[in-house]
Structure 1
Amino acid sequence: MGWLRIILCVVLVLTMVSLAACSSSTNGLEQVRVAEVTRSIFYAPLYVAVTKGFFEEQGLEVEITTAWGGDKTMTTLISDGADIALVGSETSIYVYQQGTDDPIINFAQLTQTDGTFLVAREEHDSFSWDQLNDSVFLGQRVGGMPQMVGEYVLKQHGIDPQADLELIQNIDFSNIPNAFASGTGEYVQLFEPQATLFEKEGIGHIVASFGAESGQIPYTVFMSKQSYINDNADTIQRFTNAIYKAQQYVYATPTEEIAEAILPFFEDTDLDIVISVINRYAEQESYAPTPILQEESWLLLQEIIDQAGELEQIVEYDTLVETRFAEQAINQ
C-alpha cells in the first residue's frame, strides 16, 4: 500500500492550503467537485445525471475531474481538491486502517460488480480459465480493486496468481492499455471501452468478464470525508437524489438513448462502441439499481481484500458506510 504514503505526503504539503468545500456559481447553482478514478462507460449513471440535468434539478453544478487511479483520487479527496470521490470502497478502508480523525464515508454506490474484462492477445475458439496457466498476465496495481478481484476470480478457478502466472503489476494504471498494445503480456485485465476497442482493432479478444465471475461488491462508490458530510448533509442528499434518478433512467431507458446521453463524455468513441459497452455492462447488471451499499456486499469486499493480503482488520459496515442519504432518495 505504498500509495498511502503518497497520500500522506501530499496532504502534508497541502496543509497550508485552504480550499472552499463548495461555492455558488454565476448561475446560482451550488458547485460540487467530483474526482472520478477513471473515465469509463462503467460510470454511465453519473454522466447521465449531468447531461439529463438531474444535478441541475437539485440545484447543483457538478464539476468532474479524472484522477486516473485510486491513489490519486484519494489524494485529491483528502487534500480538499474534491468534495466527493468516485472510487473503489477499498480506498476508504485503507485510509481507515492507517488511522484518521476524518474517515472517508461511502454514501452512494454506483456500480455493483467488477468492471474489467479478460482480454487475450490470441483469439480462442473456446476459453477456459486454466489456459492462463504459465501465461504472461498484465495485471492491475497491487492493492487496487481490479487486481484484487482479478486474483480472487483466478483463485476461484484454481489458479495461484503468484505461482501459476508471470504476473506484471509494475505498470501505471493509465499506461496498461498502451503496454498491452505494444506487445506486453498474453492476457490483460481491462476496463471498457478499451477492451471493446482492442477487440475492434484486432489487438485483443474479450474472453471473460471478471464482474460476472466475482459476484456483487461495492466496486465504485461515491464517498466523502466525514467532516464534509457533517457540514454539507443537504448537498450530499441532493447529490444522491440525482444519482438515484440517473440509476432509474439507465434501467428504464433503451441503450441507444443512454449512449447518446453520455456521448459528450466520450467524444473520441464511436456511438456503436458506447452502445455495445452499455449492453455488456447491463447484461451482467454492473450498474447498481439504487445507491444503497448492502452489508453483504461490504463483507464480500473485505473477504476479497483479505485474500489479497491487504486487510489488517475487519471494518464494521456502520463504520464507513452511511445509507441514510440513499434511503431518503429512494423513499422521497
Structure 2
Amino acid sequence: MKRRIFLSLLLAAALVTTAVLAGCGKGDSEKVKIRIGEVTRSLFYAPEYVAMAKGFFEEEGLEVELTTTPGGDKTMTALLSNVIDVALVGSETSIYVHQQGSDDPIINFAQVTQTDGTFLVAREADDGFDWNALKGSVFLGQRKGGMPQMAGEFALKKKGIDPQADLELIQNVDFANIAAAFASGTGDYVQLFEPTASIFEKEGKGRVVASFGTESGHLPYTVFMAKQSFINKNEKTVQAFTNAVHKAQLWVDSNNAEAIADAVLPYFENVDLDILISSIDRYKQQGSFATDPIIDEAEWNNLLDVMTTAGELENRTEHSEIVNTSFAEKAIEALK
C-alpha cells in the first residue's frame, strides 16, 4: 500500500491526539522534562522500562513522561503535533513521512530492538514444523504496511511461500483484536508478539513454532526518533536521553530474564511473572534487544529491502537522510 496520503492523515488526526494526550503536569524544575510516546506497551521494549525503573534517565538529569499511543499513525501524529518530544516506534513510519516531503524531518537516533518481535503460533502442536505446512492454511496476519506484516511476509517469501497465493491471508483485524480473533477460532496460524504468544502456550490455545525475528534478520525495528527541530534545539537533552538508553541496554545484556522481569514488573502488573520471564528470555535468546543504540547502515538497508519486497516503498530513503548516529556513538564512548 503506497503511503501518498500518510502525512495528511497524520496531520488531520493531530487535533484529536492532542485532546487525548494533553494536560501534562509540570516536572521537577531541576530536571529536564522529556515526553515519550511508545507505539504500544510491550515486553519487546524492555530496555525502555529498565531505563525508567533503574533511574538511568534521572541519573542523566531527565524527568521522563511516558504515554502509550497505540498504533504507528497515532504515535507519529503525536510527534508531528508536538504532543510528545520523542517517539518509540518502527523506523518505517519515519520513512513514510519523509517520502511525503517535510521541512522538519523525523530523525532516527537510538535503536532499541534489532529484530522483528513476532512469532508464528500454530493452533495445533507440531513437533516437526515445516514452513510448507502454511500452504493452503488460513493465516491471521498483521496490519498491511506495518513492520510486523512486512517482516512476516519477507520471512514467508524466503521460505518459498507466496502470502497472496499460497495461503488465505487475513489482514483486516485490528492489532488489538488479533489475539482474541485467533482464540475464538479464526485462522490456523497467527503472528503474535510476546507475552501473548507465551500466554497462549500456557493456556493451551496455541504453540510457538517459529520466529519471524530470526527469519527476517537484523532491522532497526523499534527506534527512538524526534523531529530535527527538536534535536537542533535540545542536543544536550537528546545526548543525555541516549546515554540513559545505552545504560539500560548494557544492563539488559548483562542480566538474566529473571532480573529483567523483576525490573519491568511495575509496567506489566497484569502479566504473571513466569510469563514475563519466558517472554523476555525468548527475546534475549534470539537477540532482539539491541546492545547499543547505533542504527547501522546494513540494518537500515535490510529494512529497505523488507519494505520493497512488501511493495510499500516508493523510493529508497538512504541511511544518511534520516538517521543520526552521533548521539549513539558518543553514548558508547562515554560508557566504556
- Aligning the two structures, in what range does the TM-score lie when normalised by the shorter sequence? over 0.9
Alpha carbons of 1:5 and 1:207: their partners in 2 closer, same or farther (altered >3 Å)? farther
Cα deviation, residue 230, structure 1: 0.8
Residues 180-236 of structure 1: CA deviation (Å, up to 9, x unaligned): 112111111011001100111111111100011111110000001111111111111
Is structure 2 residue 28 aligned with structure 1 residue 6? no
Q: Quote the residue 2:135 is aligned against.
A: 133
Kindly indicate whether the alpha-carbon contact (under 8 Å) linking 2:28 and 2:63 is maintained by their aligned counterparts in 1.
Answer: no
Alignment counterpart, residue 26 of structure 1, candidates 28, 33, 39: 28
Secondary structure in 2 matching 1:161: coil
Structure 1 segments unaligned to the other structure (5+ residues): none
CA distance in 2, matches of 1:107, 1:213: 25
Residues 79-102 of structure 1: CA deviation (Å, up to 9, x unaligned): 212111111100100001111111
Q: Quote the residue 1:224 is aligned against.
A: 226
Q: Quote the residue 2:237 is aligned against.
A: 235
Q: Quote the residue 2:200 is aligned against.
A: 198
Q: Quote the residue 2:250 is aligned against.
A: 248
Secondary structure in 2 matching 1:305: helix
What is the aligned-residue identity percentage? Answer: 62
Residues 5-53 of structure 1: CA deviation (Å, up to 9, x unaligned): 4313124x47999x99x99613632221111111111111100000000
CA distance in 1, matches of 2:207, 2:233: 48
- The residue type paired with residue 203 of structure 1 is K
Secondary structure in 2 matching 1:330: helix
Residues 149-175 of structure 1: CA deviation (Å, up to 9, x unaligned): 000000000000011111111111111
Instruction: Please report the TM-score for the alignment, with normalisation by the length of structure 1.
Output: 0.95
Alignment counterpart, residue 52 of structure 2, candidates 37, 50, 53: 50
Map 1:130-209; keep pairs closer than 5 Å: 130-209=132-211
The Cα RMSD (Å) is: 1.9
Alpha carbons of 1:230 and 1:201: their partners in 2 closer, same or farther (altered >3 Å)? same
Paired residues, number: 329
CA distance in 1, matches of 2:76, 2:178: 20
CA distance in 1, matches of 2:18, 2:112: 33
Q: Quote the residue 1:277 is aligned against.
A: 279
Instruction: Please report the TM-score for the alignment, with normalisation by the length of structure 2.
Output: 0.94
Secondary structure in 1 matching 2:165: helix
CA distance in 2, matches of 1:303, 1:182: 35
- The residue type paired with residue 228 of structure 2 is Q
Kindly indicate whether the alpha-carbon contact (under 8 Å) linking 1:35 and 1:66 is maintained by their aligned counterparts in 2.
Answer: yes
CA distance in 1, matches of 2:319, 2:293: 15
Kindly indicate whether the alpha-carbon contact (under 8 Å) linking 1:115 and 1:211 is maintained by their aligned counterparts in 2.
Answer: yes
Residues 293-313 of structure 1: CA deviation (Å, up to 9, x unaligned): 010000010000001111111
Alpha carbons of 1:305 and 1:14: their partners in 2 closer, same or farther (altered >3 Å)? same
Alignment counterpart, residue 65 of structure 2, candidates 63, 66, 85: 63
Kindly indicate whether the alpha-carbon contact (under 8 Å) linking 1:49 and 1:242 is maintained by their aligned counterparts in 2.
Answer: yes
Alpha carbons of 1:112 and 1:276: their partners in 2 closer, same or farther (altered >3 Å)? same
Is structure 2 residue 269 aligned with structure 1 residue 263? no
Secondary structure in 1 matching 2:173: coil
Secondary structure in 2 matching 1:162: coil
Kindly indicate whether the alpha-carbon contact (under 8 Å) linking 2:11 and 2:81 is maintained by their aligned counterparts in 1.
Answer: no
